[in-house]
Amino acid sequence: MSMRLNKFLSSCGLASRRKCEEIILAGRVSVNGQTVQNLSTVVDEKKDKVCCDGKEMKLPTEFVYLKMNKPKGYACTASDEKGRKTIFDLVESDVRLFNVGRLDYDTEGLILLTNDGDFANLVTHPKYHFEKEYIATVEGEVKEGDLAVLRKGVVIDGVRMPTAKVKLLSFDGKWSKVSVIIDEGQNHQVRRMFEAIGKDIKLLKRVRIGDIHLGGLYRGKTKPLTAEEIAYFKKGM
């Protein structure tokens, strides 16, 4: 079967399609011994030998789908250039996996891991709009006026951030807990939202992606997605 090079690499479990494009452009991929940097390259899985960093890429015979409760202080990458701990230090698997999307180093909570590139592309593609819910623990009281600004979309450097569903869950006199639901992912989006209203986040935790909840999964632990959870995401394929 012939397919675009980035799709082939992603299907091999190397990374998401977007990340695979970066790897190709960096000159790390060869086809039949020749370095390829053309993103439009098409390969045949039965005829062509595709390597990344000298290692031959093979399509998996079975797919793995996990959810993890990512702890704070771990990077969402297979190898961190700063030498920090990564989420894959916590995973015991004989299969090469990659993370679906990412969470900031200081953010914890739900993240998905897989070796299925099509699945990863589906979950992260903007057109499917899977909601992501975060619980932000914020210093001080977050008042209704603050919530209204967040819902409308704060303006940062003259650009309005996407709207969000925001609800105050509790205030104990020192800390506010706020539910934030977004369906667009921008770098550090939730933290930047609160910084724009002068609030500092003590802890940020993602608790839901679409209908998939973190539940009672312990920090640093993984759990296979159920057949129903996998089917929920794949219904758009």
Q: Check if the beta carbon of residue 221 is closer than 8 Å to that of residue 91.
A: no
Partnered with residue 111 across adjacent β-strands are: 68
Do you know the residue count of the chain? Answer: 237
Angstrom distances, CA of residue 149 to CA of 32, 38, 136, 155, 170: 55, 44, 16, 9, 18
CATH fold of 131-209 reads Alpha-Beta Plaits (3.30.70)
What pLDDT score was predicted for residue 185?
65
**Helical ranges in 58-188 per DSSP H:** 117-124, 144-152
Active-site hit among 48, 80, 104, 118: 104
Q: Which of 206, 191, 193 is nearest to 100 (CA)?
A: 206
CB atoms within 10 A of CB 73: 10
Q: Where are the domains of the chain?
A: 2-56, 65-127+212-234, 131-209
CATH topology of domain 2-56: 3.10.290
Question: Does domain 65-127+212-234 bear CATH number 3.30.70.580?
Answer: yes
CB contact at 8 A, 107 and 72: yes
Task: Match 């699945």 to its residue by tokens.
Answer: 119
Q: What is the pLDDT of residue 236?
A: 58
Give the tens place of pLDDT for each residue, 119-132. 888 888 777 778 99
pLDDT of residue 223: 95
The reported pTM is 0.81
Return the half-sphere exposure (C-beta side, CA atoms, 13 A cut-off) of residue 111. 30
Whole-number pLDDT of residue 16: 80
Which pLDDT value is given to residue 93? 81
* CA pair distance 215, 53, nearest whole angstrom: 38
Mean pLDDT by 10 residues, the chain (237 residues): 88 84 94 94 92 91 92 88 89 86 93 90 81 95 93 84 91 95 81 91 96 94 94 78
Separation CA 133–CA 117 (nearest Å): 23
Please tell me if the domain spanning 2-56 has the same topology as the one spanning 131-209.
no
* 104 tagged catalytic: yes
What pLDDT does residue 219 have?
95
- Predicted confidence at residue 161, as pLDDT, reads 81
How confident is the model at residue 1, as a pLDDT?
A: 73
